[in-house]
Structure 1
């Protein structure tokens, strides 16, 4: 059958450096192989050339470099990049799980210098915090050639026991509207958290009333610009988006909420609250029946249209 190339073309070549005439060079620089590749995207006209070596370098007793390279990017968000990158491992404790992997890059762009560091392995019990795991962490910092801040980006996933979450912050100083604030949590309960911190010393009367504040499946994304932004391989649509699968407030109000305010698209709000019945004093419910939830629905050019 015919071969169809629709996305990109990549050319790659590798050279072993452990035998032959290049063995001396490989031993001198501490490298086992050299790989060079060129990648061209048809749709975006982006081009990338990179050359890397598999290395075995040690910096002291706690840092090991396993790969280093040079790359050139033409096109894409930055327009033009030239830089160096490396993969390294840092021993932060005595256990095997205390070895952290990082991939770092230092880039020279037309507007300034950018440093990008990302973890390649999870970090268990960071700073001695039991039950906490950090993963998929990325930090990006940029400055102009005049020494002024250019951009800042941070993204990380977090696990605390059975609770998972994530956070992303991105700011482009040259275009302040290109800002992202996003986060998510699988669940949270204020009373449970305080009971764990105080070893169960919270009075149950408070735990089931005033402190009974929690939610599940919480997600927030804010992008005030008029176009999608990308950071850490995530795409953030323009607008304000909030989702809460379920919530409980003071042991009395229970429901769910979803708010979408999409730039140039519309507004969509859908919030429900379970019926409230307090003896013969107060009764709030939907119009259909006493057991029906109360609903607030606003749809102006939103998903409902």
Structure 2
């Protein structure tokens, strides 16, 4: 739907430019002729855009995934065919516009020349737009694939450490060992689920952090009012908050405090207790989730707080 909308917006813009610029130029030179030739010029522009839409667009779009040579060849074919399609209609128009044969031929060849120039510019521009769109789509698909691969990963050292802790707990307290096994199972289940999704609830991310905290011998993370956060219908890319908090937890010895709030059309996840600016961690998260932060998210460090803010 977005691609179709972009295409029609571009067509409207081209139509406006093709119709207004020549008429503005004519009004400067001979203003009286504007009313005489306006409808004729509109007919000419509409005819050109129709053949560009129904002929050139289909030919170029059919070869959008081809090699550079084939793309150039398809542009050439599109230009030739669109002008061949217009030969007869333009001839009819010149007969209606000018009865004298000498002037008619001059007008006819002039319109053909204008059409060729319009078609060359339009076809090259459309091919460039398709190429840019394909490149952007590949980048987005590649990022989604990387996120899914990342979501499927479980750090080997974390898994070994968790299993060691569980083994020790079995000898000390069977109930705690059972709870630890449940935490590990829930964490693995969440990562498997997240690997299949484009977005997850922020409450589920923080719940996964709680499971991680119960398993690993790491710094303390206090999540303020987790039940309230679990009730929020707020989504983020999978493992974005989990990876952020895991990296912070590995670097910062002091306890971290996590709070959540919604204000002025944004939601904020505030990580308190970050004594120094975590530049490397912030850079890593911004790079991993580039599309997310390019659209409507920010990760800032203010007054020993790392703040993730996202537009609702």
Name the TM tier (shorter chain): under 0.3
| TM value normalised by structure 2 | 0.21
More strand by share: 1
Which one has more relative contact order, counting CA pairs under 8 Å at least 6 apart? 2
